[in-house]
Amino acid sequence: MEHKPEGSPPQAESCLPNRQEVSLEDGNEEMALESLQLLQIDTEFESGRALPMDGEMWCSKNVLRKQRHWEKIVAAKKSKRKQKRERRKAQHAENTGVSPQQSKRVLKAMTKEKLLAAKSSGPKLCIDLSMTNRMTKKELSRLAGQIRRLYGSNKKAKKPFWICLTGFTTDSPLYEECLRMNDGFSNYLIDTTEEDCLNLFPLESLVYLTPDSEHALEDVDLDKVYIIGGLVDESIQKKLTFQKARENSIQTARLPIQEYMVKNANAKNYHSEILAINQVFDILSTYVETRNWPAALKTGVSLGKGYVVPCTVK
């Protein structure tokens, strides 16, 4: 009498017409049972009718169906992630002019080359940090964060600036904050000096950017050195940068917010032209690339400042 494995479905052969008989002569009863189950499931799918089966067979059918469904979901997600990666690579290549196949090491070397070249041929920007002794620790922390964002924007710029931190001492609280908050700060490709910006360049080449100036900045001149005061919005001491420039007979200019933007009505009736140093830099950098003040001002003047570029201005 033929031996049947324990738990095998009764009359398995009669339930599977026109199928090749599965042999049990090899002694692998478990494998034979699994084969019978799969054959029975396939028969049901092809005929569109339910076949009698015990609880174990019904469980196997549900498991297989759920597994197939899950595999489709996983495959779809993988395909979507792959497409998203390819779009990001293509976008990055378009923005940087670098093919996606180039390694991070190559990109890093190209960025370094651009930043070093800006020292001799790019627009020049000084961050005047000589007044940080008037600031609180919270303000110093915010300033350190702004320096990090400014440097990050300059690395991505097509036409980077040469940047110098002046009045910057290594024993100052700001230096400690920069080291604490900015990874790799000591390796930044910028110049730092304890000297004041007034002592580094000819007086006639300096332009101090301050919102209190009466003169709007019309263009970015490669022969000029532009200075941004290293202060933050929370400082209650007004017109410090303007007073310093006037006392030292330095030419001043303000961003042309009034010329290209209008006041936007808001609940607090708040309007301010005081920007963070990284916002000022983003405006200057965008203008150097686009030669378009409205487009440049949009990048740095947030809606919270209460100014917008009119729709009629392009």
Please tell me the number of Cα atoms within 13 Å of 186 on its side-chain side.
4
Identify whether 231 is part of a domain: yes
The order of strands in the sheet holding 162-166 is: 191-192, 162-166, 124-128, 225-229, 206-209, 251-253
Q: Are residue 140 and residue 266 in the same domain, yes or no?
A: yes
Q: What is the CATH number of the domain that holds 155?
A: 3.40.1280.30
- What is residue 34's predicted lDDT score, i.e. its pLDDT? 55
Q: Are residue 139 and residue 277 in the same domain, yes or no?
A: yes
Q: Are residue 257 and residue 187 in the same domain, yes or no?
A: yes
Identify whether 94 is part of a domain: no
Alpha-carbon dihedral 239, 240, 241, 245, rounded to 10 degrees: 100
Identify whether 87 is part of a domain: no
Identify whether 294 is part of a domain: yes
Average pLDDT per consecutive 10 residues, the chain (314 residues; last block may be shorter): 47 43 46 53 47 56 82 86 81 62 77 89 94 89 95 94 95 93 90 93 95 95 95 74 93 95 86 91 96 94 90 66
Q: Are residue 211 and residue 293 in the same domain, yes or no?
A: yes
Q: Are residue 149 and residue 250 in the same domain, yes or no?
A: yes
- What is residue 82's predicted lDDT score, i.e. its pLDDT? 86
Contact 12, 4 (CB under 8 A): no
Identify whether 246 is part of a domain: yes
Identify whether 132 is part of a domain: yes
Domain that holds residue 203: 110-308
- What is residue 290's predicted lDDT score, i.e. its pLDDT? 95
Q: Which of 67, 18, 65 is nearest to 39 (CA)?
A: 18
Q: Are residue 116 and residue 57 in the same domain, yes or no?
A: no
Q: Are residue 124 and residue 195 in the same domain, yes or no?
A: yes
- What is residue 8's predicted lDDT score, i.e. its pLDDT? 45
Q: Are residue 130 and residue 229 in the same domain, yes or no?
A: yes
Identify whether 232 is part of a domain: yes
Q: Are residue 172 and residue 251 in the same domain, yes or no?
A: yes
Q: Are residue 53 and residue 189 in the same domain, yes or no?
A: no
User: How many domains does the chain divide into?
Assistant: 2
- What is residue 251's predicted lDDT score, i.e. its pLDDT? 96
Q: Are residue 231 and residue 294 in the same domain, yes or no?
A: yes
The length of the chain in residues reads: 314
Q: Are residue 66 and residue 171 in the same domain, yes or no?
A: no
